[in-house]
Chains A and B, each alone.
Chain A
């Protein structure tokens, strides 16, 4: 338990080290997931446009 606390403290640099790793991994994971949603959104927009065109015809 003491070992874990000491490890997490990073020799007193806990804030700098964990902010760096947290921010890096958080941003990278978000940026990997968002394009998948973007692709679904684009296909949805094309579908809506096709429906509108079909409605007019």
Chain B
């Protein structure tokens, strides 16, 4: 029964319809979470004892950084499934994820710089954490450029999956960089063996934003995957009927 359900929704037309139904739900949940998260991180959370008000940037920086890695793992995982089992829907998921991942990585770097300038006194240092995150941005941009450069979608998906899988090695490097190389970026505060070293009044907005960023990714993914399915299936009768039906 479960297998049947997968077959049913992996069929492009059904996946397209399902994504269209889910997109607004993820959109509304995202709006609610981000508004609550923004309110909490800008008004309710107290100022930091050492960093004053500037630490509020962390409520964007940390969720964006988590998502930059999470989206990459999804992209590489979907690419691998598409490569090995030839599931075209997974090729579409991988391709649809790349721009969102690149945006999260860009925002991680920019918010990091905007926090680093007043706190560290510099926009940028070639610290291990910063450098590996910059490499992540180049991996995303490389993947996107590769998709744009190869006309045949099957070939592009295969090449993209290989690139994404090779780049996965960068993910543990980003995560452990602050422990392996003791440079400027601080160590982990939330994800560590002893439990989070952060007050609950700051942890709650951080988690609300992180969940909101996740549902945001899903909302965008639903929209983007519909576009990818349409382009994959542009010669099929159902897409042609859909195009003819619209004005």
A48 to chain B, nearest CB (A): 9
Interface segment, one of B51-59, B79-87, B154-162, B182-190: B51-59
B226 close to A20 (CB less than 8 A): no
Say whether, besides A10-B53, A16-B57, A24-B107, A43 and B246 are in contact (CB < 8 Å): yes
Which residues in A have their C-beta under 8 angstroms from that of B243? 43-44, 46-47, 50
- Proximity bits, A20-52, B CB within 8 Å = 1, else 0: 110111011001100110111011101100100
Q: How far is the CB of B189 from chain A (nearest CB, A)?
A: 18
Q: Which of B52, B54, B117, B223 contacts A32 (CB 8 A)?
A: B223
CB < 8 Å neighbour of B230 from A16, A20, A36, A43? A43
Measured as residues with beta carbon below 8 angstroms from the partner, the interface class of chain B is 35 or more
Instruction: Give chain B residues whose Cβ lies under 8 Å from the Cβ of A36.
Output: 223
A24 with B100: CB separation less than 8 A = no
Min CB distance A47 to B, Å, is 4
B227–A39 CB distance below 8 A: yes
- Which of A16, A20, A28, A46 is B103 in contact with, Cβ under 8 Å? A28
Residues of B bordering A, CB below 8 Å: 27, 34, 38, 42, 47, 52-54, 56-57, 60-61, 64, 99-100, 103, 106-107, 110-111, 114-115, 117-118, 216, 219-220, 223-224, 226-227, 230-231, 234, 239-240, 242-244, 246
Listed in ascending order, the chain A residues whose CB lies under 8 Å from chain B are 10-13, 16-17, 19-21, 23-25, 27-28, 31-32, 35-36, 38-40, 42-44, 46-47, 50
